Each structure stands twice: as C-alpha cells, then as structure tokens.
Structure 1
Amino acid sequence: MASPSDQTARHLQRLAALVSQRRAQLRLKKQEAAAVCDIAYMTYWKIEDGQSVRASTYSKLEVGFGLRAGSCKAVLDGAADSVVLEDGTELIEGGQIARVDTESLSDGIPDAVTKSAMLVAPELTGRQIQDLSEQVMEELRRRGILPSAP
C-alpha cells in the first residue's frame, strides 16, 4: 500500500495534469492563466508543478477556469479522478467526458450514414441507403444509445 505522502503526491500530480489540460483547452499561457484566476504567476506555476498551495488558491482557480466548486479538493482528497466544469463536462486526465445532445445526434446520424454509404458503396440506390440509415437508427434506439422514436 502506498504511503500517505505518495498518495498526496499522486493526487497533486493528477490535479496538475487536469489544470494544465484545462489551461490548454482555454488556449492560455501560464501567465495568462494566472491572471484569469487572479493568482500570482509563481503560485499558478506551483499548481501545474504538482506542489500544494492554499485552499483559497484552488477556489480562485475553480472560478477562473470555470470548474465546479470543490472539484480541486475532491481530486486532492482522492475522491475524484476528474474535475467537473460548470457546464457539466467532466475533464479526465488526457480527455473529457461531455454530455451528448441526443437530438443533434439523431439529426446527424442519417446524414452521416448517407454520405458514408455513397462513398463506400456507390452502387446502392437511394432507397437502399435510406433503408440502411433507418436500420442504423433503429439499432441505436434498441441499444439505448438514442431515445425511442416519438
């Protein structure tokens, strides 16, 4: 079992990676990020370096970066592997989890199937492509990926 200091260091490094990822997502340089968060540049640098700072600094970081309150503490306590943005998007190390707008997805899938079928199987008729698209939509509904048709 890892010692408490090893776990603390691991949590600080995880938060550092998430903060760095969010800064890159916002297209900010470190100095700009510090200004957005209303913290000193060296203090911001410490966060991305995996060093501990005051709880009030993490609060400023959450406000400046649009993170839900308490996200940093949850990562530092080992209670979370991610930070959550105000819009509900969840940042995980190396990626993000976003809520999918199933209405947009439902609207876009038939068009994507049609374009793909025309490229891959140009011999298909328009009716065959439409049938294929309907079958794809039905399968996605059956799997629970899309809501049932109205």
Structure 2
Amino acid sequence: MSAPRDLGRLARAVKARRLELHPSRLAAANSAGVSKDTWQKVEDGLLVRDVSYAKMDPALGWVVGSCMLIAEGGEPVPASYHEDADGTFMLSKIPPSLLPEDVRQVVTDSAMATTANLTVREIRDLSERIVEELRKRGLLPNGS
C-alpha cells in the first residue's frame, strides 16, 4: 500500500520545475498533452487522474511515476536522453529508495499513459517481468 498523497508538496515541485523549463503553464500543458486546466489543478494541489500525472512527468524532465513519488514523500527521478546510431533513448538512475511496488506502479502508470490496447493482466505481467529483471541485475532488492 502506498503512502498518502501530499498534493501540496507535489504542487510546489511541479510549479518550481515548470518555471525552470517552460515559458508558461499553457506551454507546459501542451508539451504534456494535458489541458491547461488540468495543469492548473495540479499546481493548485488538487487531485487529477493518475494518467494525467504520468503525462506531465516527461514534460518536467522526469521519469513517468515521479509525480506520484513526490506526492508520496519521495523525489522525482530525472530522465536524461541520449542519441546513438539507433536513435534517441532515455536513461535514468533508479533511486536506492525505490521499492519493487514503486516500480510496479511506475510501469502501470506508464503503460496506461502510452499503450491503449494492453489489458490489466498484460500490464500486471509486464510490471512483474520488469521487477524481476531489475532484481536479476541487482538494481532492486530481492523479496516483496
């Protein structure tokens, strides 16, 4: 079970980051693919759908799921983009405080935000496979 959401904390973090990256709330909302009203609600500390937070994360330079981490007392996970001969890809460091359940939630939020045709079972299976792969690589603790 996740921690209670501190939407005021999230509001402050989103606004501060938006002011660093975007000339206006409208520009940030357009970059994220959400309405200006939805972005305003987040900055006002009001609840929006989880999929909206997932859409906002990349516009803020964060890995999807970072808004939820902030609201639950954690820190955003910065995303960095790199190019090679095969194209552009994202790299990020998994913070040591990230738990397997956090990874599952990030995968679920990401899948819901980007892939309309996955079933709940497919999303759950994807989450479990990712957690297991991260464990094999020593990036997540065993158990849970």
Unmatched runs of 5 consecutive residues or more in structure 2:
81-91, 94-144
Aligned pairs for 1:4-83 within 5 A: 8=5, 11-78=6-73, 80=74, 82-83=75-76
- The answer to which structure, 1 or 2, has the higher relative contact order (CA under 8 A, 6+ apart) is 2
Q: Between Structure 1 and Structure 2, whose CA radius of gyration is higher?
A: 1
TM-score (ref. length: structure 2): 0.50
The residue number in structure 1 matching 2:107 is none
Number of aligned residues: 80
SS at 1:84 equivalent: coil
Cα displacement (A) at 1:49: 0.4
TM-score (ref. length: structure 1): 0.48
Cα displacement (A) at 1:27: 3.6
Q: How far apart, in 2, do the equivalents of 1:67 and 1:28 lie?
A: 18
Identify, as 1 or 2, the structure richer in helix.
Answer: 1
Q: How far apart, in 2, do the equivalents of 1:46 and 1:57 lie?
A: 11
Cα displacement (A) at 1:46: 0.1
SS at 2:62 equivalent: coil
Cα displacement (A) at 1:84: 2.3
- The RMSD of aligned alpha carbons is 2.1
